[in-house]
Amino acid sequence: MSNETTVTLQGWVGGDVTLRQAGDAQVASFRVGATPRRFSRRTGDWVDGETQWYTVNAWRALGDNVAASVRRGDPVVVHGRLNVSTWVSQAGVEVTSFEVEATFVGHDLGRGTSTFTKTPRQNQGATDQVPADAAASVAA
């Protein structure tokens, strides 16, 4: 059992996805803004809370796919491990940042449509293969 904190975020991509080399692996990074909405019984209106910003890092094949698929302004759902860092800025202000090491990234289909294209793999692992009986049940 792992003691890592996992989160699922729903939000909007706030900037361009950057793709960089980190050692022998590619990593795509982007920012997601999540703005909570709550219904105010007092006013009878929906009220936006303060937007929370998260840096998302997607490694290796996931990073390549994110760089090819995700654009600024896209609604996304991200699941992964949450890392929190706190430091003092040059201005002497304590800053806390939230980073998510993504396990899954996808478009939020509650906000629009998307088309999936499977990427070819040279060495398909067990997680890339769909059992024949599962594929048959989906096709039925």
In whole angstroms, what is the distance from residue 13 CA to residue 74 CA? 5
DSSP 81-133: EEEEEEEE-TTS-EEEEEEEEEEEEEE-TTS------PPP-SS--GGGPPPHH
Q: Is the pLDDT of residue 110 over 70?
A: yes
Report the percent of the chain where pLDDT is more than 70. Answer: 85
> In a 3-state reduction of DSSP, which class is residue 16?
coil
Residue 1 domain-assigned (yes or no): no
Cβ proximity of 54 and 84 under 8 Å: no
What pLDDT does residue 78 have?
A: 98
Domain that holds residue 126: 6-139
What is the CATH number for 88?
Answer: 2.40.50.140
Q: What is the mean pLDDT of the chain?
A: 89
In whole angstroms, what is the distance from residue 22 CA to residue 2 CA? 25
Residue 31 domain-assigned (yes or no): yes
What pLDDT does residue 75 have?
A: 98
Residue 50 domain-assigned (yes or no): yes
Number of domains in the chain: 1
pLDDT in tens, 23-65: 999 999 999 999 999 999 999 999 999 999 999 999 999 999 9
Q: How confident is the model at residue 3 (pLDDT cuts 50, 70, 90)?
A: confident
In whole angstroms, what is the distance from residue 19 CA to residue 58 CA? 9
Q: Is the pLDDT of residue 127 over 70?
A: no
What pLDDT does residue 134 have?
A: 46
